[in-house]
Structure 1
């Protein structure tokens, strides 16, 4: 390692070299004649003269031609420095080309080997002011750019605190900012950081930035997601580590992708729906003849049993019992045939048969099937029917299937949340010109629109979710909905025009 030379060891030539290397204009005046006896290269450059020429000039030759910079005033300044040791004044120097420099002149008495002298240092105030003005102008321009640019840009410290940001960036991150400046707050306090679609943290992003790294920010604005995408760059050569983040809004692109994904789901649903329609038509066609044949056989057996009634082969009581049983079987076959015909009409887009029915009666018909589903789970079903008939015009069988669907979903929800003691409440009412049916559960609630989901996710479900229920009700000029229940849970219901 090279030894450091102490100042006392510097030679006179070394000190002279230091003065000549400086950027400040220095003139040395003789104490008696006050003439210039030496000048450093910076002085020659400022005054645009050679040293030999400069030594022949007087103070008035290198000063602004004005009374306050007269030779007499200049000599008085030099004499004051000789008497008091130092003097200071604002002075205007003039170069050979006529350029005037506003300077801070500092005169100091120095003791040389030949005797006393006056050293005057001229600090170019004009140049410093020009530099300061340029810096202020640059700062103003940068400030205007940050206010008016549409770029989402911000600088973030190592700890994740925001150090600077464009107005556009602040508008995204802090839309409700008022008097409190958001500068200094952490990035994680106002947004979610994601990398390649996965949640991340600022420390993980910093560790991976060398020097660039992709970045996504997810902002929750009153329940509406705002997506920003861009990159983070580590800024070099700074005492405190800083990171520059440049982003752009991709919310519209994300929403378009979601719309395309939903459209794809709808296309898949329609394809499956059409396939189900073809299957239903085939099944309805194939079941029609066996059901009709079964009904004919039952009719034949009933006729034959009646012909034997009161004979030795069959007593009257037994015949009556057989006839009652066969009659019930015939009714169930007729109901099955009605369901098959209804499915055929619905899938085939034929005009379905509407009836004026009391929703209370439809609930009573469906209640045994509801209890059959809820019984093994232990979830009770509480029925609160309207005291008055709820007359509506609808397709009785299909509406009953919707009731079953809503009730089954409510029972499954109560089982899923582990509450099998709280009842599922079913109600009917006449409200606003509509007959209303509702199913009330106290489950976990919903944060999505279930009617936009084409297919169920239940392993034992029918495969059509609530979408088909929606179609059935709206096709009959009704409305179907869901809403949060006060105290937790969900209320599903539908309304049909009153008759």
Structure 2
């Protein structure tokens, strides 16, 4: 049916839309489009909002009018405070004028002391706030004055009594410097309240002649200076700029809960400085607005109570409506959830009645088996998805299921699809209970475990391969949690050595704890990198190494420890023990071979120097022979001069000692002995090496210059080995100069010994520099190879042994050519040895480590 005013197409003309009905119809259409739940919520919310707005309007009006009254009262306090301040100012200015007249009369010498006392007495008696008026001389002495009988003790000042800075608060100096009246800060006294001083200076023949000092009682200023009507209306006090109370009683604030309401009584306060005095003294007025009459607010409380009751009823109705809507939504959600669960669930669901007949299957069950719902509902065993070869087993399983004999973890069964393919599933059975609490059947959930089973089999095979690889290793591997006696893993070698228990793991840790764990060479921090663990999962595992001896096995083992995060999240420790008995034996043999090679090198060196040594020994032996023959001749001739014979014998003894010293040096150098690192003096080692090497250098007409720094630190080395390195390098330098055929004046070898810091450690550097033929650049990298030599007669073991000796002492050996333009002008060998660290007792750290290692061995 078309509206009479509508057009044939059903739309209204513009004139009809502009009427008052058009907005109402639009609002009605919007309301009809809303869901019922929203309509109910808005229907209840509208009255609540109206009541709340009504209550807010009443409260706002009450607060507004209250604030208006408070503002008016604050303005009244400000006016009255200004009025009291003006009265105090005028009273102080009047007293100041009177004191200034007294000061002028004293300066003009028209006022004597007696007249001053009379005028001061009249002034004090006429003004009760004045305690005393005194004439003070230029040197702070009291000339004369008058003090009120009611004044406190400190105001009683006698003639000739000097005033201190504390008495005037520093105002005397200020008045003397400014030459104008000065008010002091309020002074508080123990025998009375606070006082205020006014000092009016005067001059005597253009010089400071003193002051007229008046002392005010601050309490008297408040009592006689503030108008009585202001004192009656407000609580007036005189305070300092920091809030210190000097006179008056302040108003105590209300501590009731009603004092916090917007319309409750609040104190009105205003303060102003007293102009002649300044900011050191302020007048403060406080007034309390009286509480409203409870009867005048009865209407507000009545309306408020009714509004609260109305809101409570509306909220109760809203709560009831919300519960009804929640129940409806829960019902709809439950229905949708069950429908969505049935349609999108990946787990197959099957319900059986008490007789074993299928009463329900979901879509996932049908998709997994390939049978439709109509084909499965009502089916009895044997079910169509049972494999023919498993009918008996599955029938027995069904009887156990109906009887309630089910495993909590479910059971695994084969399932046949409609196309004939087989897959494996895990089924979980639970009783089906109705609303009355009776069991009506069994609910079974089925999950396809074909892929998890395949993954589990692959993981088992992978574990078997992993265990086979670990069991075939020559190392014993064990894993155990920290601070636990549980053994998580052990390979075959561990079981062969220690058995199946954790005692082997604990024994290895016990032996490892008795041996100091040495850090890697590049590590400077010896603190365990895993200190503080466990905090999070380990990102990087840090290993520690130790060499231990296991008496039970009779083996030396290299033990490596590593912290790991186990599969269950626990922090565990893995031990890897490797049998290094054969390796240690080989290293010991190699060490013996190196020692033999070093001894052979020393013998070869002495063999090469044999002629030089013989020549060097020939001189003292020849001298001894000559002295002996001379003595024999004198004895046969009967010339026995006691002094001459004693001198000849002394010279013979010195030559014999020289020859014996050379032989002892040679014997100590070539003697075969075990390496014995001791704290050795650098100067002594250099002197011994130079004494032996100089024999060979003299044979080649080579001059040796030694530059040695003073106060060199002692080194923890084997001195014989270091002397061997020095002798070898010095001998090679002399042979290089001989090869270069330098003139005798240019044959020079320099030995420099200085301290040097390298890589953050202190040490001593030895430099052997010659001006020989140098080393061919193409052979410079190979000079340290075994049996490689740049000399035709060389054996190629000297520099190799030198480098091994220096590196065994944790030092460095380097060589480089010296150039003069593009021509090789000589060679320089440099080796550096570190200074040992010492502990708190002064013992070298390296010596301590070697002692501990030897004890562990």
State the TM-score bracket (shorter-chain normalisation): 0.3 to 0.5
TM-score by length of 2: 0.30
Q: Which structure has the larger Rg over C-alpha atoms?
A: 2
| TM-score (normalised: structure 1) | 0.46
Query: Per chain length, whose mean CA-contact separation is higher, i.e. which structure has more relative contact order (CA < 8 Å, sep 6+)?
Result: 1
